[in-house]
Chains A and B, each alone.
Chain A
Amino acid sequence: MRSKVVGIQSVVVLAFAAVLCGYEQRLFGVGGALLLTASIVVCSTYLLAQVGTRPLRAVAAMASRIGKGEISTRLPAVTDPQVAELARVINEMAAKTEAQLDRLEAEKNRLDAILRGMGEGIMVADPQGSITLVNPAFKGLFGLQDEVEGRLLIDISRHPALHESFRDILSSRQERVEELQLHSPKERSLLVHWVPLVECGVVTGVVAVFHDISDIRQMEKMRRDFVANVSHELRTPITIIKGYAETLLAGALEHPTQATKFVNIMYSHADRLASLVSDLLTLSQLESGAIPLETRSVKVQEIAEHVVALLERKIRERGIKVDLSGLKGAPCVMADPGRLEQVIVNLLDNAVKYTPAGGSVTLSATDREEGVIIAVQDTGIGIPSKDLPRIFERFYRVDSARSRDEGGTGLGLSIVKHIVQLQGGTVSVQSNGQGSTFFVTLNRAESTYSGTIAAAAAPH
């Protein structure tokens, strides 16, 4: 764009120069003739010189100012008809050029604004691979801070696919759309639209538009994973149940002891299947908002005691100590009691499941301005920091083999998150290798914040 403006400017300057040269030659002719007759009429020569060259010099000076970019300069009126004509032509040209430049400038500004505002990255390069234009989005995608224009594409990114495509576009002169997998500065999926710039049969450059589709790809992957996960989780118990049913039909029914054993196994897997399906159903209902929530003032301590009673056997078998003393005197929260129970069941179940024997789980509640923070803290195996951001995703498991052995489906935490969010709360997690702590923040039932801290263990 800039070079175009400069180009037009120089054309204007050249045109001025040509016009001026023509006039000067003619003037020299006139001057020569005058010199011949100088000896005869000195006076008239002097007079002519007065009216002829002085204004002309002024015209030349002004024209040169116009040529140098002071495009709004206009020539003053002169008396000499010839010079006046020249001045008029120059003025007209200057005015036209000024209008043209204004239009170009406005167009350039508009284009700049569009390029700046675009979410897509844009890059234009000449056939030698030298970049002539980029927008801020492009710089963002490729992690560039310095000036990019004028540098070589290879100095901006060494990604092989980028250069292969660039060369291909130059030689094939065909537009094309393709996906590019960036690995630096960040893992990204880009959709790239390549367009060759062809002027009069000559390729003068290449334009590339980069559209970041990482989120779309990520979502597609999640959906694919979800379907794959569901099928996988459903298939395992079904295969087992089917296998034992076949064995029973094939004659095992005749042996009561064997048959009882098999039916027991079938029952436990049918149970697992049922809980999986009910989890899935819960999730889809939560997501579609089909579950009516009956929120009322609830005592966290009562619910937690009930949950501990429910999980009593598991807790005892595992040899885990559960401490509820941090919930004593905790303020009431606004929640659906059945749903809150589900939340605490899931968190406590995880804490017990992922804590080795002899460990402990501590529940506590803290009264804060933003609400009541319920914390479930364990001394278990902890969660690697790279998994923390994804832990609340459906089917996400740190160690899927281990979790599946424990009968886990990886749906527990995503149910927790949904329930809590539906009640206007938030969930979070912390882990540092010394166990994990899950936090659930819910609205306080009493509308005023008493400021009394109910629990000893406050989250940091």
Chain B
Amino acid sequence: MNKEHVSSQFDSNLAAIRLKLLEMGGKVELMVSKSMKSIVERDSELAEQVVAMDAEVNRLEMEIDEKCLHLLALRQPAARDLRFVTLALKTVVDLERIGDECVNIAKRAVELNREPQLKPYIDLPRMAEAAASAVQAALDAFVRQDVQAALAVCRADTPSDELHDQLQRELIGFMVTDPAVVQRALAISCISKFLKRIADHATNIAEMVVFMVDGVNVRHARPASQP
């Protein structure tokens, strides 16, 4: 992190937080990909795995939180290091939420897999793909401290919204024509919403990366007003 830091203890604390954060990110990425596979491949066993992984992610959140607070209290980091710790504290929340959304998806998957497939899943995998790559791109931007890549993640959340709206319209069509499918259509609708939220959390993470590297807050800012 900060090369001028004299205290190697401090640096190794920061490095440990960074390592844990990325490990947590890796777990969450796997949850995203498994939860979606559990739907597309109708594999409820994968869904169970996702649910089981959540506990581990929650544990990591607490661990990182604790490490950050400890560092804040004992070392009073400044400037970029402080921004890094801020990022870590906020990002674990987003990552943990993504994990929760994956659990939600997995639970719906188990429900859906018990019944015949309502329709071929086309938009859903696309949305999942978009959400998964947003999470991946945000974490990659963090690894490389790449502001441009992070800003790209912030800008890219619109296609996911479009797919979501399109899918909602299609599902309403299904529900109107056949009341028997309402349950399943609603489940798919929820999954679409969960995926949208995952993409939103990825955007939050990307914004924090910009903040950490540049010290600029891009949240609530329109793209035009970005430096």
Interface residues of A (CB under 8 A from B): 129, 152, 154-155, 157-160, 163, 183-184, 384, 399
From A156, which residue of chain B is reached at the shortest CB distance? B143
For residue B25, CB closer than 8 A to chain A, the reply is: yes
Q: Are B30 and A160 in contact (CB under 8 A)?
A: yes
Of the candidates A129, A152, A183, A384, the one whose C-beta lies within 8 Å of that of B33 is A183
Complex CA distance for A129 and B12, rounded to whole angstroms: 13
Taking A158-B23, A384-B120 as given, write out 13 further A-B residue pairs in contact, using a Cβ cutoff of 8 Å, ordered by the A residue number. Answer: A129-B19, A154-B23, A155-B22, A157-B26, A158-B25, A158-B26, A158-B139, A159-B30, A160-B23, A163-B26, A184-B29, A384-B122, A399-B120
Q: How far is the CB of A180 from chain B (nearest CB, A)?
A: 12
Contact of B143 among A155, A160, A183, A399 (CB under 8 A): A155
Closest CB in chain B relative to A316 CB, distance in Å: 30
The reply on B58 being an interface residue by CB < 8 A is no
Cβ of B120: which chain A residues have Cβ within 8 Å of it? 384, 399
Closest to A159 in B: B26
Question: Smallest CB-CB separation from A398: which chain B residue?
Answer: B120
Determine if B197 is an interface residue (Cβ-Cβ < 8 Å): no
Produce 1/0 per residue, B6-28, CB < 8 A to A: 00000000000001001101110
Name the distance in Å between B35's Cβ and chain A's nearest Cβ.
Answer: 12
Q: Identify the B interface with A (CB < 8 A).
A: 19, 22-23, 25-27, 29-30, 33, 120, 122, 136, 139, 143
Q: What chain B residues lie within 8 Å of A163 (beta carbons)?
A: 23, 26
The CA of A155 and the CA of B22, in the complex, are separated in Å by: 8
Main secondary structure of the interface of B (DSSP, over half): helix
Q: Give the residues in chain A near B143, CB-CB below 8 Å.
A: 155
Query: How far apart are the CA atoms of A384 and B40 in the complex, in Å?
Result: 15
Q: Is the CB of A160 within 8 A of B33?
A: no
What B residues does A152 contact at CB under 8 A?
19
A97 to B136, CA, bound (A): 50
Q: Are B19 and A158 in contact (CB-based, < 8 A)? A: no
The docked-state distance in angstroms from the alpha carbon of A152 to that of B19 is: 9
Q: How distant is the Cα of A152 from the Cα of B33 in the complex, in angstroms?
A: 24
* B136 in contact with A154 (CB, 8 Å): no
* Complex-state Cα separation, A152 to B23, whole angstroms: 12
- Complex CA distance for A154 and B30, rounded to whole angstroms: 14
Q: 3 closest Cβ contacts across the A-B interface?
A: A158-B26, A154-B22, A183-B33
With A and B bound together, what is the CA distance between A53 and B27 in angstroms? 70
Interchain CA distance A154-B19 in the complex, whole Å: 7
A163 CA to B22 CA, complexed, in Å: 11
> Whole-angstrom distance from the CB of A240 to the nearest CB of chain B?
21
Tell me whether A160 and B26 are in contact in the complex, defined as CB-CB below 8 angstroms, given that A155-B143, A183-B33, A184-B136 are known contacts.
yes
Contacts of B26 in A (CB 8 A): 154, 157-160, 163
Complex Cα distance A51/B87, Å? 71
Question: Complex Cα distance A129/B122, Å?
Answer: 40
A163 and chain B: residue at smallest CB distance: B23
